[in-house]
Amino acid sequence: MAIIGRFGYVAYMAPFPVFLILFLSIPLVEIYFLIKIGSWIGALPTVLLVVVTAILGATLVRYQGFATLQRLQMTLARGEMPAIELLEGVILLVAAVLLLTPGFFTDVIGFACLFPALRRALALWGLKRVIVTPPGRGPSGPPSSPGSGQRTIEGEFRREDENNSEK
C-alpha cells in the first residue's frame, strides 16, 4: 500500500517490522499487567475479570457492529460511498480481536475503539492519511481527468448511411 506524503511523494510502508515489534511487546505488557493486577486482587478475580471483559466486549462490539452496518446501508441507499462506515467496521473488527485477547492492556485499547466519537476520528484520520489508488491510475487521478490533455465533447450525432438506407 502506498501513502501519499504531504509534498506529493509516495512512501511505501514496511509493515513487517511494526508487526514484529507489536507481536513481541504486547504479550510482555499483558503478562506484566496480569501479574500486577493478580497480586493486588488475587488470581481468581483476575481470571474472572478477564472473562467478564471479553464477554462484555463481544456484546458491545456486536451492537456497535449492527449500528455501523445500518449506517453503511443508509449511506449506500443515498448513493454515497460508505468509506467512513467501512473503516469504522475495520476498527470494530480490531476492537473485537483486542477484547477477545486475554489481558487488560488490549482490553483498554479495544474498549477505546468502541467509543463512536473516537472511532469516527480514527476513520477520518485514516481517510486523510491513506490514499488508495486503483491499478492503472496514478496518484493524480484517473487517466481522463480534466487537464490531462484529453477533451470530451458532448453533442448529438446521426449516421449518414442509416438515413440513406431508410429512403
What is the structure's pLDDT at 152? 76
Q: Give the separation between CA 93 and CA 53, rounded to whole angstroms.
A: 16
Domain range summary for the chain, segments of one domain joined by +: 25-134
Q: Give the separation between CA 114 and CA 141, rounded to whole angstroms.
A: 34
DSSP assignment of the chain equals -EEE-TTS-EEE--HHHHHHHHHHHHHHHHHHHHHHHHHHH-HHHHHHHHHHHHHHHHHHHHHHHHHHHHHHHHHHHTT---HHHHHHHHHHHHHHHHHHSSSHHHHHHHHHTTSHHHHHHHHHHHHHH-----TT-BTTB-TT-TTSS----------HHHHHHH-
Read off the C-alpha cell for 21: 515489534
pLDDT, averaged across the chain: 82
pLDDT tens per residue across span 127-167: 887 765 555 555 554 554 555 556 777 778 777 876 565 55
Mean pLDDT of 101-109: 93
Q: Tell me if 139 sits within 8 A of 10, measured CB to CB.
A: yes
Between 152 and 8, name the one with better pLDDT: 152
Residue 6 has pLDDT above 90, yes or no: no
The reported pTM is: 0.67
**Sign of the C-alpha dihedral computed for residues 129, 14, 93 and 24 taken in this order:** negative
What is the structure's pLDDT at 18? 85
pLDDT-derived band at 55 (thresholds 50, 70, 90) equals very high
pLDDT tens per residue across span 73-92: 999 999 988 888 999 999 99
CA-only gyration radius of the chain, Å? 25
